[in-house]
């Protein structure tokens, strides 16, 4: 009766008025069966009587949203229950006790049929221009878990992130775009389960289309949509950090949740049919394989269409363009995204590397992709914190890394500049620790990056020494001012606005506790820095964004750029080898608006001669803890190890 309603596409569970179509790609397990579960966990087994292109499918009448289901397969003479890779919800938080046997698979989280009807209440997409974008990277749970003005039941949830107190904070801080650490369903790695820890960051995808149930009070689907809707209502974009380079199934011997049982070719395989490991996680997803490419593209459209997501940050994105051991910027994935009428309209941000051969690809992603610029991070930290007087490199980075990202392709190729990210030291720890302190992770401090380029200013960790605290605050202002007033898209770790410390832990991926949770406890110094940062972000919008627009595209060569010594004379070749005090002058067209950067990395105050003309407005001086409003004209005394930004129109 319902045979004509059964269709191979779309894959997954698709509701209609009469019931639900179930469809799954499964070339390697011909005895697969659909399993439906009622409220008492009673099982109903249904044959998938239709096949097309290795897809098994059927239509089941009378199915409603909330139906719990899975698929039974034969695995070495045992029956195993697997998840639908196209599942859009889970019935509970996934968890198991090692080892993940076929018997335990029946007690694991199960797939749930979803109805995506939702009242968006007429909200529209913010569509923030790239040159005005301010990215705040945050964790859904961690940012509100300890917030005193968020009701306890909402702390650490999707709904917590859109409570009035949080909206007010984001607006006051100048946030345009929240970049959320993975909110797709995640499964902690076996070694964490053995230590009774969790993958707090979420970089271990279970089902690509499922919102992580840990962050919901009741219904993850509705609550995540509500979060997006309320943030959009206030003009704030939502960018998802998403992981397609590997899955939670791991390498050889890893758990079997779906892909491994359905088709081993979802993953890159070597000549011995073992899984390749270009990500450090044991199983590299293979986007040269059509079913793998399909689910990735279907997933992206799913989030944009059903959740109105504004963009994606792709973890270890070099993997997405891989063909075996080589990276190809003309790969099928990039071409498919570029022609997709839905996906080509959203922000696409790449972490342009993985750990495999040919894995570092900064600057080589196609037009329409912005890239996380670790060259900026390393150069700026080295310049301010390690006293590496790399003037030429520093100048290149603040001018938009045009050795890697041509201004002719701006703003769509603006680099995403950052100083701190979820991995690595927080801003506060960059100026408070020389060494990583990751003992809480249970790996004898062996994990985490060793190249921190940090400087504790004389004391490791907490101190009451006023001179050291003062130097730390100045260094934070140096780093943030350089980030905010460089050409590019500033990426700010949200907890940095709170001067949050992780106690020197630079790899807190498994710390679902106060180490990672944002510290909202009142503190005058922290409050002062937060206000300073908010004001600086507002001033970036006023003073810097117009320069980024003007220096982008065809008219980029019609403006004035001068690099001078502190005495106002042009820098020569020798100066570029290590001059400690220099200035950068930017002027629009022949007589337009002007910016002047006074950079002094020396240990002594330096007097700068300013370009002649009308008075300059002091946008900021990092040697000062507060942001005032004053003007100067002929000279300016710049404090040691600090920088000033001046403006006039």
Pairing of strands 311-314, 594-600: unpaired
241 is catalytic: no
Q: Are 307 and 228 in contact (CB under 8 A)?
A: yes
With beta carbons less than 8 A apart as the criterion, state whether 381 and 426 touch.
no
Q: Identify the CA nearest to 294 among candidates 357, 337, 253, 252.
A: 337
Burial class (CB in 10 A: 0-12, 13-18, 19+), 477: buried
Dihedral, CA atoms, 601, 395, 434, 145, nearest 10 degrees? 120
Nearest residue to 394 via CA among 383, 402, 386: 383
CA dihedral 399, 402, 405, 408 (to 10 degrees): 90
Residues 6+ apart with CB under 8 A from 641: 384, 474, 475, 478, 600, 601, 602, 603, 623
Of 5, 9, 4, 13, nearest to 53 by C-alpha is 9
Query: Which residue among the candidates 131, 230, 237, 351 is catalytic per the annotation?
Result: 351
Contact by Cβ (8 Å): 207, 85: yes
**CB within 8 A of 455, min separation 6: which ones?**
385, 386, 430, 431, 434, 475
Q: What are phi and psi of 70, to 5 degrees?
A: -165, -175
Which tokens in the block code for residue 390? 């790399």
252 is catalytic: no
> Which DSSP string do the residues of 64-110 spell out, in sequence order?
-TT-EEEEEEEETTEEEEE--TT---BSS-----SS--HHHHTTS--
- Give me the residue label for tokens 């919102």: 211
Rounded distance, CA 470 to CA 491, Å? 25
Look at residue 471 and give its three-state secondary structure.
helix
The encoded tokens of residue 210 equal 């499922």
**β-strands 635-638, 347-350 pairing:** unpaired
- CA 560/CA 40 separation, integer angstroms: 73
- What the block records as the tokens of 409 is 């392709």
Q: Please pick, among 223, 286, 315, 580, the residue that the annotation labels catalytic.
A: 315
What is the total residue count of the chain? Answer: 649
Q: List, by residue number, the catalytic residues.
A: 315, 351
């Amino acid at each position: 009766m319902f045979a004509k309603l059964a269709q191979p596409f779309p894959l997954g569970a698709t509701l209609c008025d009469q019931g639900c179509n179930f469809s799954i790609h499964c070339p390697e397990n011909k005895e697969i069966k659909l399993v439906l579960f009622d409220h008492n966990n009673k099982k109903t087994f249904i044959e998938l009587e239709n096949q097309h292109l290795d897809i098994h499918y059927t239509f089941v009448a009378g199915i409603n949203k909330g139906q719990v289901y899975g698929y039974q397969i034969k695995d070495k003479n045992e029956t195993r229950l697997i998840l639908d890779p196209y599942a859009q919800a889970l019935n509970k938080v996934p968890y198991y006790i090692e080892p993940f046997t076929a018997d335990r698979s029946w007690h694991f989280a199960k797939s749930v049929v979803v109805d995506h009807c939702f009242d968006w209440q007429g909200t529209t997409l913010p569509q923030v221009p790239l040159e005005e974008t301010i990215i705040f990277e945050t964790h859904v749970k961690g940012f509100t878990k300890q917030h005193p003005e968020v009701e306890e039941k909402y702390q650490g949830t999707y709904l917590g992130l859109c409570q009035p107190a949080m909206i007010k904070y984001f607006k006051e801080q100048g946030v345009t775009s929240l970049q959320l650490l993975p909110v797709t369903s995640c499964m902690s790695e076996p070694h964490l389960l053995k230590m009774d820890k969790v993958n707090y960051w979420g970089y271990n995808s279970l089902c690509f289309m499922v919102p992580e149930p840990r962050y919901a009070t009741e219904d993850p689907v509705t609550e995540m949509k509500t979060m997006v809707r309320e943030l959009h209502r206030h003009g704030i974009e939502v960018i998802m950090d998403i992981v397609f380079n590997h899955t939670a199934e791991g390498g050889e011997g890893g758990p079997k949740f779906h892909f491994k049982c359905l088709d081993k070719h979802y993953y890159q395989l070597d000549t011995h049919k073992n899984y390749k490991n270009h990500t450090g996680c044991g199983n590299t997803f293979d986007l040269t394989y059509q079913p793998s490419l399909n689910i990735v593209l279907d997933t992206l459209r799913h989030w944009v269409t059903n959740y109105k997501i504004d963009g994606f940050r792709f973890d270890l994105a070099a993997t997405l363009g891989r063909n075996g051991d080589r990276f190809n910027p003309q790969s099928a994935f990039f071409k498919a995204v570029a022609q997709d009428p839905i996906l080509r309209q959203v922000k696409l941000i790449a972490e342009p590397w993985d750990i495999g051969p040919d894995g570092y690809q900064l600057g080589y992603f196609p037009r329409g992709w912005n890239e996380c610029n670790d060259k900026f991070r390393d150069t700026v930290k080295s310049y301010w914190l390690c006293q590496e007087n790399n003037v030429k490199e520093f100048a290149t980075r603040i001018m938009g890394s045009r050795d890697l990202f041509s201004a002719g392709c701006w703003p769509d190729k603006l680099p995403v500049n950052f100083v701190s990210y979820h991995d690595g030291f927080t801003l506060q720890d960059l100026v408070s620790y020389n060494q990583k302190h990751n003992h809480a992770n249970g790996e004898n401090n062996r994990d985490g990056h060793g190249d921190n380029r940090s400087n504790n200013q004389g004391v490791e960790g907490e101190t009451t020494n006023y001179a050291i605290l003062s130097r730390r605050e100045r260094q934070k202002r140096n780093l943030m001012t350089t980030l905010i007033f460089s050409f590019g898209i500033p990426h700010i770790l949200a907890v940095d606005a709170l001067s949050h410390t992780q106690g020197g832990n630079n790899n807190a991926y498994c710390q679902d506790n106060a180490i990672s949770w944002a510290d909202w406890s009142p503190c005058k110094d922290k409050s002062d820095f937060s206000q300073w940062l908010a004001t600086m972000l507002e001033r970036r919008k006023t003073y810097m964004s117009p320069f980024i627009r003007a220096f982008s595209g065809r008219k980029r060569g019609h403006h004035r750029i001068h690099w001078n010594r502190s005495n106002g004379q042009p820098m020569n070749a020798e100066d570029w080898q290590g001059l400690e005090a220099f200035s950068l002058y930017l002027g629009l067209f022949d007589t337009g608006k002007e910016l002047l950067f006074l950079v002094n990395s020396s240990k002594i105050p330096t007097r700068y001669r300013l370009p002649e003309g009308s008075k300059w407005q002091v946008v900021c001086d990092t040697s000062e803890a507060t942001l005032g409003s004053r003007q100067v004209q002929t000279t300016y005394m710049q404090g040691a190890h600090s920088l000033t930004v001046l403006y006039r129109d």
